[in-house]
Amino acid sequence: MKKIRILSIDGGGIRGILPGTILTYLEKKIQELSQNPDARIGEYFDFVAGTSTGGILGLILLCPDENKKYRFSASDALKLYLDQGDEIFDVTFSDKIKRGGGLFDERYSEKELENALKNYFGELRLSQSLKPCLITSYDIRNRKAHFFTSCDAKSDINDFYFKDVARSTSAAPTYFEPAHIYSIFGTPHTLIDGGVFANNPALCAYSECRKLNFKTELSDEKKPVKPSAKDMLMVSIGTGSVKTPYYFKEFKDAGLIKWVQPLIDIMMSGNSETVDYQLRKIYGTLPGKNSEDYYRIEPLLQNASSEMDKADLPNLKALHEDGLLSVQKFQSQLDEIAAKLVKHH
Question: What would the CATH number be for the domain defined by 4-96+104-344?
Answer: 3.40.1090.10
For 194, list phi and psi in degrees, rounded to 5.
Answer: -65, -10
Quote the pLDDT of residue 270.
85
- Of 55, 74, 62, 47, which is closest to residue 11 (Cα–Cα)? 55
Average pLDDT on 57-70 reads: 95
Q: pLDDT digits over 139-164, tens only?
A: 999 999 999 999 999 999 999 999 99
The rounded distance, in Å, linking the Cα atoms of 84 and 77 is: 11
**Is 272 an active-site residue?**
no
Catalytic residue among 52, 73, 183, 272: 52
Chain-centroid distance, C-alpha 67: 26
For the cut 60, the answer to whether the pLDDT of residue 35 exceeds it is yes
Residues 184, 226, 185: CA angle, nearest 5 degrees: 10
The verdict on whether 86 is a catalytic residue reads no
The pLDDT-based confidence of 116 (bands split at 50, 70, 90) is confident
Give CA–CA dist 344/243, Å, rounded: 36
Catalytic, out of 10, 46, 159, 193: 193
Residue 108 and residue 176 in contact, taking contact as beta carbons nearer than 8 Å:
yes
pLDDT at position 255, please?
80
